[in-house]
Structures are given as C-alpha cells and as structure tokens.
Amino acid sequence: MLTPNEAEIFSRLDLAFASFLSQRTTLDAPRKKALETLLATLSQQQHQGHNCIEINDTYKTMLLDSGLADEHPATASQTYPLVIEQNRLYLHRYWFYEDRLAKQIKQFAHIFKPVENLDNLLDRYFGVNATETDWQREAAKIAAQQAFCIITGGPGTGKTTTICRILALLQELADESLLIALAAPTGKAAMRLQEAIALNKADIVCPDSIKAQIPQTAITLHRLLGAKPPSPYFRHDARNPLVFDLVVVDEASMVDLALMSKLVDALKPGARLILLGDKDQLASVESGAVLADLIAALPDNTVELRQSYRFDDDIKKLA
C-alpha cells in the first residue's frame, strides 16, 4: 500500500489502477509498494497528456520480474498490460497507438510530387512579396506537393484563410474534382471551421467553378470516422477506408494519440492529410501531445504562420 502522503499526490483512479495491476504480481511487499508508486505515476502522467514515463534499470528489472511488462515491443502481446521500450514505460495500448502512428506517418509523410508552374499559381492566390517570406504561400507550396502537411500558428495568423486558398489551389491542380473532408475534434470547432471557410471563400482569386468545389460543411472526427458507441472502434479503418482524397483537420492540438492513429489508419492509399493547429495551445487532455510531436519530428512538412493578421485588422479599425 502507498503511504498517506503518497496517496495524496495521486487521484483515486491512479491509485485504483496501480492497486489492480500490482495485485496480479507475486513480488515481495517492498517491491510491490515501489511498483504501485511507479504505476500510479504512469497513470497520472497519461492523464496529463504523456504517453510514457522514463524508468531506470532497477525499475525495468522489477517490472520484468512482476510479469506485467514485455521488453520486446516489436512482438508485444496484449497479455502484457505494459511495454518497455528502451528506458520508457508505456501502457500497451498507448505504445501500440504511438508505434502504429509513427509507421503510418513514415509511409506517406515523405511523398513528394513536384508541380510544374506552381509559382505562377501561387502568385495568383497569394500575390508576390519580394521583401520577406510569405509563410501562407510556403504552406500552400508544401500542401500542393506533399501528401502530409501541418500548418501551425497562433490566433489570427491566418490558418483558415490559408487553408481556404489551398483547397482552391489543389482543386485547380487536380485532374478530377477532389473529394475533400473538413473535420475538427469537437462540434464547436467544426462549426468555427465551416464558418471561416464560408467567410473566406468569396475573397479567393479563382474561377467560380473552383470555388464551388470547396466543401461547405465541416463535421467532427468521430462522425467522419463513423463512431460506434460505446465501442472504441470506428466504421472506417484500414479495411474500410474513407473515400476522401483530402482530409483537413482543424484544432489538431486537441486530437489525442488514439484518435490521430485511427484517423491516419482510415485514409485511403494516395490520400492527403492537412493538420491545422496552434502548437502552443493546450494539448488534448487524453494521452499524447500529438501535434507538437509531429511538428518536432517533421519540420519539412510543417509551416508556422508568424504574422497576426487579426492584430493588423484591429489597428486598421482604430485608424
């Protein structure tokens, strides 16, 4: 059992999780107490958005002796509730999602298809600025040539303005009209994205036939994937992929590890994915600061919008 002081540090859920697993072991009392503290810490950190915790060799030996952990994640069985990878301890399901997402992203994040005469189109959509880098234009250049793109930036930096122009650009470049899905983690975020797209569509410099191909409706990710409550599974997965050629996800910092893995799993071969979000925004309360990790791992797929146009508009109004 944990001491009263230790028990105050953890939630009831953390303590129940630690007690449940420790009761399955035959460790002696001192090691079982150390195991409970470690497991409660793992549970606590996962509720704070971390997929794993670091452990030393002493804890690694104890976990392997307990029969709760597998040190060979490539062949990890679900009969082990915990997975040790190098010096990191995971719950099996979070290790599975992280490993699967990493492999999925690796498969298509580096797909690069150069587009001829792209600069001429970008001039029309974004104008020409010879004095400084136009990061919205750079985002469009990546989105036009790579299967995976992340557009990050704080409030007012023009993420939805940029994505609206990108959607028109991609439709203009496509041989056939693209099937595009607009999605967000929550209904409120989906509605904001939908309103922003509708507001910005009129200002795009492109034929009306192209504007007509920009979707007008945004939905939640759970609806997009086909949630089947109370089951954690979705109707769309690798065996039954989404029909869309392009999926755009706004407020991606709110998407947890499990949902992001299931989304990427459900993309059909050849589909594109664009994530929008603020890397400095509070991450999902579920396990995994996925957007921040993807940005750190994939700088060539990421553009950060740095100028606040909202602030500029406020100045103009005051003037």
Alpha helices in 10-151 (DSSP H): 12-22, 29-47, 57-66, 92-108, 118-126, 135-145
Q: Is the omega angle on the peptide bond into residue 4 within 30 degrees of 0, that is, cis?
A: no
The CATH number fitting domain 4-91, selected from 1.20.81, 3.30.2320, 1.10.20, 1.10.10:
1.10.10
Contact 95, 83 (CB under 8 A): yes
- Categorize the per-residue pLDDT at 283 as very low, low, confident or very high, splitting at 50, 70 and 90: low
- Categorize the per-residue pLDDT at 46 as very low, low, confident or very high, splitting at 50, 70 and 90: confident
pLDDT of residue 266: 98
- Tell me what the mean pLDDT of segment 264-274 comes to: 96
pLDDT of residue 159: 94
- Tell me what the mean pLDDT of segment 81-100 comes to: 93
pLDDT of residue 98: 92
Tell me how far apart the alpha carbons of residues 185 and 191 are, in angstroms, rounded to a whole number: 11
- Categorize the per-residue pLDDT at 317 as very low, low, confident or very high, splitting at 50, 70 and 90: very low
Angle between helices 118-126 and 159-173 (to 10 degrees): 140
pLDDT at 307 over 90: no
Tell me how far apart the alpha carbons of residues 236 and 247 are, in angstroms, rounded to a whole number: 14
pLDDT of residue 304: 96
pLDDT of residue 7: 60
pLDDT of residue 312: 46
pLDDT of residue 9: 85
| Domain spanning 109-318, CATH class | alpha beta
Both tokens of 219, joined, read 């939905």
Return mean pLDDT, the chain.
89
Among 68, 16, 110, 91, smallest CA distance to 258 is for: 91
Tell me how far apart the alpha carbons of residues 272 and 204 are, in angstroms, rounded to a whole number: 22
Both tokens of 67, joined, read 């029969």
pLDDT of residue 110: 87
Give the pTM: 0.88
Among 183, 191, 198, smallest CA distance to 275 is for: 183
pLDDT of residue 316: 38
Q: Write b or e for each residue in 253-268: b if 16 or more Cβ atoms lie within 10 A of its Cβ, otherwise e.
A: bbbbbbbbbbbbbbbe
- Tell me what the mean pLDDT of segment 265-287 comes to: 84
pLDDT of residue 287: 58
pLDDT of residue 279: 82
Contact 54, 47 (CB under 8 A): no
Provide CATH 3.40.50.300 ranges for the chain. Answer: 109-318
Provide CATH 1.10.10 ranges for the chain. Answer: 4-91
- Categorize the per-residue pLDDT at 128 as very low, low, confident or very high, splitting at 50, 70 and 90: confident
pLDDT of residue 220: 98
pLDDT at 25 over 50: yes
Tell me the per-residue pLDDT of 205-221, one tens digit each, with 9 for 90 and over: 899 999 999 999 999 99
**pLDDT higher at 118 or 129:** 118
- Tell me what the mean pLDDT of segment 11-15 comes to: 93
Tell me the per-residue pLDDT of 166-191, one tens digit each, with 9 for 90 and over: 999 999 999 999 999 999 999 999 99
Tell me how far apart the alpha carbons of residues 279 and 150 are, in angstroms, rounded to a whole number: 10
pLDDT of residue 306: 86
pLDDT at 273 over 70: yes
pLDDT of residue 288: 62
Alpha helices in the chain (DSSP H): 4-9, 12-22, 29-47, 57-66, 92-108, 118-126, 135-145, 159-173, 187-201, 208-211, 221-225, 257-265, 290-297, 309-318
Tell me how far apart the alpha carbons of residues 241 and 238 are, in angstroms, rounded to a whole number: 5
Both tokens of 21, joined, read 């697993």
